[in-house]
């Protein structure tokens, strides 16, 4: 039943995406904030459809910690779920994506309308310089910047080294950092089609003041808060982590 419900969810996801792609392109003449407000309705639908088909809902704690003005979101990355939910919780935001995604007909064009920071991951040093340079410019434009410091989706209970990009941008720009933790990986696993019923919890942490702090200090402070908070979040016990992290990549 879980698999069947998940397949129905994906059917709706595909249809909604196909319908949204031309709308995204038609929104190009408008400001990025306006484009974001319209295109993020896709995420609203997907999360509603997820609840309807898979009985998977969510709650967000700590929204009062979101400051006025732009900032840097440093978020735990366990699944695709948080990429949807961040669009509902925070104002207009910029993402870091692989440059190759912009080359995909229609989809890539729609993605380009959101002004992502498109990087070539091969030369790591060059990519980092680009992220820092363009990230600071986006912040000055009043846009939020989303950073997944581990660089890839990480299964619940596992950790990867936090990369320095977010901390470096914060040090150079002096914009605040908002850490975000959640337990989505238990319900929307990184390598499974199945979406398990329950309630995902996202916690938005206190603002990290970045003024007069080194990049390493900022990164460590964000990491300590995120990882300790993730460890404290509910862990479902009806399905094992091993089963949830098996299957086709999503």
Cβ atoms of 116 and 97 closer than 8 Å: yes
Average pLDDT of every residue of the chain: 91
DSSP type of residue 26: H
pLDDT at 197 over 90: yes
| pLDDT value at residue 10 | 96
pLDDT at 122 over 50: yes
| pLDDT value at residue 248 | 43
Domain range summary for the chain, segments of one domain joined by +: 2-244
| pLDDT value at residue 238 | 55
Query: Torsions phi, psi of 185, nearest 5?
Result: -60, -20
Cβ-based neighbours of 1, under 8 Å, separated by 6 or more: none
pLDDT at 246 over 80: no
3-state DSSP assignment of residue 149: coil
Greater model confidence, 53 or 118: 53
Mean pLDDT of 43-54: 97
Mean pLDDT of 195-204: 97
- Cβ neighbour number for residue 55 with a 10 Å cutoff: 14
pLDDT at 178 over 80: yes
Residue range 138-167, pLDDT digits in tens: 999 999 999 999 988 999 999 999 999 999
pLDDT at 22 over 80: yes
pLDDT at 245 over 60: no
pTM here is 0.90
Alpha carbons 202 and 247: distance in angstroms, whole number = 25
Query: Torsions phi, psi of 44, nearest 5?
Result: -60, -45
Q: What is the CATH number of domain 2-244?
A: 3.40.1130
Greater model confidence, 4 or 128: 4
Mean pLDDT of 48-54: 98
pLDDT at 112 over 90: no
pLDDT at 250 over 70: no
| pLDDT value at residue 242 | 40
| pLDDT value at residue 161 | 94
Mean pLDDT of 217-221: 97
pLDDT at 244 over 50: no
């Amino acid at each position: 039943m879980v698999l069947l419900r998940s397949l129905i969810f994906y059917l709706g996801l595909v249809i909604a995406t196909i319908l949204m792609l031309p709308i995204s392109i038609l929104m190009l003449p408008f400001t990025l904030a306006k484009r974001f407000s319209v295109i993020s309705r896709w995420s609203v639908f997907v999360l509603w459809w997820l609840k309807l088909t898979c009985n998977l809902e969510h709650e967000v704690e700590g929204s009062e910690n979101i400051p006025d003005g732009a900032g840097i979101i440093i978020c735990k990355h366990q699944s695709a779920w948080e990429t949807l939910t961040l669009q509902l919780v925070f104002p207009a935001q910029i993402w870091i994506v692989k440059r190759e995604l912009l080359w995909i007909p229609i989809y890539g064009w729609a993605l380009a309308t959101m002004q992502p920071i498109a990087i070539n991951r091969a030369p790591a040093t060059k990519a980092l310089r680009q992220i820092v340079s363009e990230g600071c410019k986006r912040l000055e434009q009043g846009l939020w910047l989303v950073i997944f410091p581990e660089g890839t989706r990480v299964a619940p209970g596992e950790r990867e080294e936090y990369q320095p990009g977010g901390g470096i941008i914060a040090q150079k720009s002096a914009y605040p950092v908002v850490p975000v933790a959640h337990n989505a990986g238990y319900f929307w696993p990184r390598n499974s089609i199945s979406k398990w019923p329950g309630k995902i919890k996202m916690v938005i942490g206190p603002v990290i003041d970045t003024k007069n702090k080194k990049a390493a200090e900022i990164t460590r402070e964000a990491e300590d808060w995120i990882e300790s908070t993730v460890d404290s979040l509910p862990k479902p016990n009806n399905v094992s982590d091993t089963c949830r992290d098996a299957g086709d990549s999503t």
